[in-house]
Structure 1
Amino acid sequence: MTEHRDQLKKSMTTSEFAELGGGEVAYIKTLTSDQAHKMFPAIEGLPEGINLYALHAADGTPLALTDSMQAALGHALGDELEIASLH
C-alpha cells in the first residue's frame, strides 16, 4: 500500500507534462492586460485595465488571445480542442 501511495505522489517530468493532451486538450486563462502584454509582446494596442482570455495548449503554448470567454471557447471548439478545467 505504501508503494502505491509513493507512486501517486510522483511528479510528472517536464517532457511528460509537455506531451499531456497530445494536441487535443487546452485550457483558458484569464489575464489582465499587463499580463497579456508580457505573454504576447508582439500584439500592440492592448486596452489597459481589462481582462483578456488566453487559450493555451495543455503544454502551456499560447494559442489565442481574445477579449471574451465566448471567443476563446469558440476558438477551442473550432480547433476541436477539449477544454480542461483548472483548479
Structure 2
Amino acid sequence: MGLKSISSSLSKNDLAHLGEGEIGYIRKMRSEEVSRCFPEAPEMGPGIDLWALFGADGTPILLTDNRSSTFFKAAEDDLRTVTLH
C-alpha cells in the first residue's frame, strides 16, 4: 500500500490564521514563564504550576491554576481544544 502525497502550499498568512476562532490549545506552564505570555498578570512566586489556554494563533485567553477551567473556557468560547506538550 503506497502513501499518496498531497501537494498544497499555504501562505504564511494562511498558516497564521489556521484554526483561528475554532481551535484552542492548552499548555501547562510554570509561574516563571507567565510574564512572557501574560504580561498583565500579577507577580507570582517561583515554582507554581499553572494552566493556560491560547487561541490557535497564540493569543493568550486564560491563565489558571485549575486545568478544568481551561476546558470550560474553551467550551464557552466554542473552541475545540488540543494539548501542547
Q: TM-score higher than 0.5 here? A: yes
Q: Paired residue for 1:26, among 20, 24, 27?
A: 24
**38, 41, 47: which is aligned to 1:40?**
38
**Structure 1 gap ranges (5+):** none
Structure with the larger helix share: 1
Runs of 4+ in structure 1 off by over 3 angstroms are none
Distance 1:67 1:85, change over 3 A: closer
> CA offsets per residue over residues 51-74 of structure 1, 9 Å max, x none?
111101111111111111101111
TM-score calculated relative to the size of structure 2 = 0.78
Percent of aligned pairs sharing the same letter: 35
Distance, in Å, in 2 between the alignment partners of 1:70 and 1:47 is: 22
2:80 is matched with: 82
Q: Is the contact made by 1:37 and 1:46 (CA closer than 8 Å) also made in structure 2?
A: no
Paired amino acid for 1:42? E
What is the aligned-residue RMSD (CA, Å)?
2.4
Runs of at least 5 residues in structure 2 that lack an aligned partner in the other structure: none
How many residue pairs match? The answer is: 83
TM-score by length of 1: 0.76
